[in-house]
Amino acid sequence: MNVIIVHGGAGTKRDLPERKKVVIKAVESGYKILKEGGSAIDAAIRATVILEDSQYFNAGTGSGLNIEGEVEMDASIMTNSLECGAVACIKNVKNPILIAKLVMENTDHIILSGKGAQRFAKIMGIRKYDPKTKKSKALYNKLMRRIKGGKGTRYFPRLPDFIKYYNTDTVGTVAVDREGKFAVTNSTAGVILKLPGRLGDTPIFGAGLYANEIGAVSATGHGEGIIQLCLSKVAVDLMKENNAQKSVSIALKKAKKYNVRCGLIAIDRKGKVGWGHTADAMPSAYIKNGKLTYKDWV
């Protein structure tokens, strides 16, 4: 079947030309693996690593900082056979998605968090890495100055209004290989200035991502709202009677009803693609039958 779709986060219109280049590179690299007979897991991981390595996304390198100026990252992976693994609130690694894959493949657990996740990464031979960039530090300092001004916000009423600058650009991939096997991934550092220890939807299976024999979905956006709606599971369940695009559209209509800013990408069991969002932009691309399609909705 060999289909892959990638998103660079449902968020703002910031840095769209740069984000477009990386999204296209990610989807092309993942598709190359599929075309050469590789698995959906390997394709999804490869695409996600490329997104994590870019400074233009809120995942891996370039991650936004929490209210204490630290980076805490979440990542997850799931397959159609219900294999899954995730890390939450992990620090000092370059590619959280690789640790999530190791959790899935090497432990009896599904989610490892905080210091336990970091210790596991060290045991598995993952080198320490500081994902903070000059860009993320500058944004953090700007927002902290606004906090001291005592203004309101969309997501955090007790923090200043930084919606113009906020960063919820979770990255994700959905892939299906020639054997019809699905893999879906997510990676993020969450909303900038979140409280330490906060988990969004990314490591929550059924919320930030879900896969089974019907299809697979990756979500992005305001994690708390996505969790409340179990949005990815809702979209996958809709694929029992609808194609991927209609399922995404129905799920997003529900999200809009509850004022949840988010986006979804999906592939169904027939290899049909679905995508859409309720935010300002969501740079995304898919390749099917060798043809690349990109859209950011701007």
Q: In the numeric block, which tokens belong to residue 209?
A: 């991502």
Q: Give the Cβ contact number of residue 35 at 10 Å.
A: 15
Q: Report the SS3 class of residue 291.
A: strand
Per DSSP, helices labelled H in the chain are 16-35, 40-52, 96-106, 114-123, 134-147, 223-229, 231-238, 244-257
Torsion of CA 256, 147, 133, 170, to 10 degrees: -10
Please report which helix (H) or strand (E) contains residue 172, including its range.
Answer: strand 171-176
Contact 198, 86 (CB under 8 A): no
The catalytic position among 61, 79, 153, 170 is: 170
Q: What is the CA radius of gyration of the chain?
A: 17
DSSP character string of 16-30: HHHHHHHHHHHHHHH
DSSP annotation of 281: B
Judge whether 168 counts as a catalytic residue.
no
The residues annotated as belonging to the active site are 170
